[in-house]
Amino acid sequence: MHDFFGLYILLLLIILFLVMLSQRLKIAYPIVLVLGGLALSFVPGLPEIRIDPELIFVIFLPPLLYEAAWYTSWKEFWKWRRVIASFAFLIVLLTSSVIALVSGSLVPGFTLALGFLLGGIISPPDAVSATSIMRHIRVPKRLVTIIEGESLLNDASSLIVFRFALAAVESGNFVFGEAVSSFFIVIIMGILTGLAVALVFFAIYRWLPTTPNIDIMLSFIAPYVMYLVAERLHFSGVLAVVSGGLFLSTRSNIILDYRSRFRGETVWATVGFALNGLVFMLIGLELPFIVKQLGDVSLKQAIWYGVLISVVLMVVRLLCTLGASVFTRVISRVITTADSNPGWKGPLLFGWAGMRGVVSLAAALSIPLYLGNGDPFPQRNLILFITFTVILITLVFQGLTLPLMVRWVNMEEPDYQLSEEEQDAIVRKKLSMTALRMLQEQYAEQVKSNGQLQGLQLKLEHDVKRLTGQPALPDGAAAAREDWATFREVYSGIILEQRQLLQDLNKKEELDEGIIRKYIGLLDLDEERMRLQADGQEH
């Protein structure tokens, strides 16, 4: 037990150094971690590390999905819902079908059910890899939104395909129509289950006397409850976590106070970083175990199968993204679309950003060793090796070339006419004007007799004029206790009004939600500063 725990502590330290190396090399950290794990797997004397599928699906997956859902912009998600839904569901089914046909004709002994099993495993792209690369390069906001939205949903659809294909292999009977109908039932009921559990947590947050520590603990418990309840009912646990996370996220200003949001974001950022780092490192460390499992299949032949299926997978995704652009131009004559002419640049980048990740490997590892009748599961070892090869090729090759592709395409931001700096200035000015209006109309008498409020007013006036900097709280250490209490009461009211303004501004299409969230964070910080100053006054 001590050796096992010590090994994972060592892995975390190695992950930190590899992430620092990736920053120095300006390469996305998932690529460096996978290659680092791969190199580490050849170190003599290192204990063999095996990925337990249950560890990924039950321990890692729920919090990672919940964090991604929590920070997803619902406004942008809804705007691009058709593209996201089509790639998360329809394209997964199409990709699985193509892989089933190709692998069935290419690999001796592969049946249609085994092909669908492989297709369900390798069809979902991993958003962590793509978005971590895109943070270092300039890409349109819509591209990041669509990739993140697709990754929230496609894990669910691919795992459902995997589940039905696995049942078909074991039973020897694959009924396509029955699988499709069950597919949609599992999806819809998974979403409803997640929303039902989210309503329970909403009630706890809203009406019980929670503290910031309790709120943060509840945020860690919620995704596990959503996932386990849905899976126990044989619905999609992934969609339960995603739908529940989105529901609670859009109501975070109602159910959480500034302290819970402020501390929770810090805790979740650290935990999410650690979990993502571990899963990418574990991918590389799995190579020796996977090679040992090949059995009668030669390594050269297995590599050939993996490379060929990887190429097919990349080509199919590119054809789907470019074909979707053409379809959008046609269908936009009938219905209203978010962009009636997507062009070729965005779809090309979207198609090239289809790297595979740990969910695919965990799904492959979860294939049972034996069928229900006691016979060995057919082609299990080869499916496992092909999956690893696909992950390695797409993650390293596409991941390293994606920045080059972005620079070559040179796609301009199509959705926001205003730059981030201009949007920033608009929001900042409106917040300052709202605060000034309240000071002048509702608190004029208090301003006359309160030096802190006078200082705040001067700072706000300066901010409106120059649109630089941010209003900071004046030093109240020497102020009278009564003045401080008045100042805190008035400024708290102003912040409440500014929060409402930000919610209203977020409904405007021309403003990026990232800018809005930044100012919500700044308001949280102002409230935290006031609390700390108040604690200092009391002590």
Shared domain for 454 and 391, answered yes or no, is no
Chain-centroid distance of CA 97 in Å reads 26
- For helices 345-352 and 141-171, the axis angle rounded to 10 degrees is 50
Query: How distant, in Å, are the alpha carbons of 174, 187, 194, 209 from that of 163?
Result: 12, 13, 20, 42
Query: How distant, in Å, are the alpha carbons of 297, 346, 401 from that of 108?
Result: 11, 38, 33
- Asked if 69 and 245 touch (Cβ cutoff 8 Å), the reply is yes
- Asked if 29 and 133 touch (Cβ cutoff 8 Å), the reply is no
Shared domain for 200 and 73, answered yes or no, is yes
97, part of any domain: yes
Task: Kindly report, residue by residue over 161-203, the tens digit of the pLDDT.
Answer: 888 888 778 776 655 556 666 777 888 899 999 999 999 999 9
pLDDT attached to residue 429: 83
1, part of any domain: no
User: Which of 353, 377, 409 is a domain's end point?
Assistant: 409
Give the DSSP per-residue string, 345-387: HHHHHHHHT----HHHHHHHHTS-SB-TTSPBPTTHHHHHHHH
Q: Give the up-direction half-sphere exposure of residue 89: CA atoms within 13 A in the CB hemisphere.
A: 13
Q: Structural domain tally of the chain?
A: 2
Instruction: Say how far apart CA 401 and CA 415 lie, in whole Å.
Output: 25
44, part of any domain: no
- For helices 258-285 and 358-365, the axis angle rounded to 10 degrees is 60
The CB density around residue 400, as the number of other CB atoms within 10 Å, is 13
Shared domain for 368 and 514, answered yes or no, is no
pLDDT attached to residue 55: 72
Query: How distant, in Å, are the alpha carbons of 15, 71, 388, 409, 449 from that of 290?
Result: 22, 35, 8, 37, 75
Shared domain for 428 and 400, answered yes or no, is no
428, part of any domain: yes
With 0.75 as the threshold, say if the pTM is over it: yes
Shared domain for 208 and 323, answered yes or no, is yes
Shared domain for 264 and 373, answered yes or no, is yes
21, part of any domain: no
- Asked if 239 and 159 touch (Cβ cutoff 8 Å), the reply is no
Cα end-to-end span (Å), the chain: 46
Domain region containing 527: 420-538
Which of 249, 256, 55 is closest to 152 using CA atoms?
249
Shared domain for 124 and 246, answered yes or no, is yes
pLDDT attached to residue 136: 67
User: Which of 366, 387, 409 is a domain's end point?
Assistant: 409
pLDDT attached to residue 479: 43
Residue 381, domain CATH? 1.20.1530.20
348, part of any domain: yes
pLDDT attached to residue 2: 54
DSSP lists the bridge partners of residue 376 as 370
Question: Length of the chain in residues, anyone?
Answer: 539
Shared domain for 349 and 430, answered yes or no, is no
pLDDT attached to residue 471: 38
- Asked if 279 and 60 touch (Cβ cutoff 8 Å), the reply is yes
Residues of the chain under the 50 pLDDT cut: 1, 468-480, 536-537, 539
pLDDT attached to residue 474: 40
Shared domain for 389 and 442, answered yes or no, is no
pLDDT attached to residue 23: 85
Shared domain for 309 and 431, answered yes or no, is no
Instruction: Say how far apart CA 33 and CA 15 lie, in whole Å.
Output: 7
Shared domain for 335 and 426, answered yes or no, is no
User: Which of 382, 409, 436 is a domain's end point?
Assistant: 409
Shared domain for 117 and 232, answered yes or no, is yes
20, part of any domain: no
356, part of any domain: yes
pLDDT attached to residue 201: 96
